[in-house]
Amino acid sequence: MSDGALLHWSDSSVEVHRLVVGPYDNNVFVVRCKQTGDAVLIDAANEHEKLLALCERLGVRRVLETHGHNDHIQAVPAMREAGYEVAVTELDAPMLKDVGYDVFMNHDDVIEVGRLRLHAIHNPGHTPGSISFHVANTPLLFTGDTLFPGGPGATKFPGSSFTAIIDSIDNLLFPFPDTTIVLPGHGADTTIGNERPHLQEWVDRGW
């Protein structure tokens, strides 16, 4: 069963549902395989009651965390208590020591969601273990806090690196086609084509 009020994007094979939660207006995405009804939730950020209800309605089986910052993990304990497996990169796992996690994800992992395949892309810079997800055979690219409309995520945190985030965006995200839809951890969608021409501006301004 899908939830039309939250439906953000769809084609013949996949649905993306978006819920904005918490004091930092975090985007929580559910990626659902239309053929099988299997789904995955990206970033259990906050407002766990809403997320658990959404997961039950949409057939979510597990949670993928784009990175370990506090605003993206508030709902993790409730999700795990309800039986959902939570995956994070090993580099960011220490940030989840108070909320817990279950399995590690690595660069180039292929995550099966029904007949969908999500390709994991390690994008260090915002955090050491930040990770993005591209849904194979779709234009969908979930970037967490690595790439937003107008530039990279903040790099003022411990473990952040502006040089690393720029290299990561340039080498791992900007090779995607112009029409690739960027779905970030906060705010509106953009496209690779909109953002790529501005890389040097971001380097010059230093953030």
pLDDT in tens, 20-36: 999 999 999 999 999 99
**pLDDT cut 90: percent of the chain above it:** 97
189 band by pLDDT with thresholds 50, 70 and 90: very high
CB 129 within 8 A of CB 93: yes
CB 129 within 8 A of CB 169: no
Mean pLDDT of all residues in 85-93: 98
Average pLDDT over residues 91-103: 98
115: tokens are 């007949």
| Angle, CA 172 vertex, CA 104 and CA 90 arms, to 5° | 15
Average pLDDT for residues 111-115, to the nearest whole number? 98
Q: For 128, which DSSP code?
A: T
Average pLDDT of the chain is: 96
Helices (H) and strands (E) in the chain, counts: 5, 15
Can you state the percent helix, strand and coil of the chain, rounding each to 5? 25, 35, 40
pTM for the structure as a whole: 0.97
Q: How many residues does the chain have?
A: 207
The structural architecture, per CATH, of the domain 4-205 is: 4-Layer Sandwich (3.60)
Q: Give me the torsion for CA of 179, 134, 198, 168, rounded to 10°.
A: -150
CA distances from 166 to 13, 43, 113, 151, 161 (A): 32, 23, 30, 9, 9
Q: Which residues contact 19 (CB under 8 A, 6 or more apart)?
A: 6, 27, 28, 30, 47, 50, 51, 54
User: Is a pLDDT exceeding 50 seen at residue 203?
Assistant: yes
pLDDT at 107: 98
Contact 79, 52 (CB under 8 A): yes
- pLDDT category of residue 5 using cuts at 50, 70 and 90: low
Domain map (residue ranges) of the chain = 4-205
Residue 78 in this model has a pLDDT that exceeds 70:
yes
% of the chain exceeding 70 in pLDDT? 98
Cα torsion at 71, 2, 6, 148 (round to 10°)? 60
pLDDT higher than threshold 70 for residue 3 = no
- Spatial contact of 141 and 176, defined as CB atoms under 8 Å apart: yes
For residue 2, is pLDDT > 50?
no
User: Does the pLDDT of residue 1 top 50, yes or no?
Assistant: no
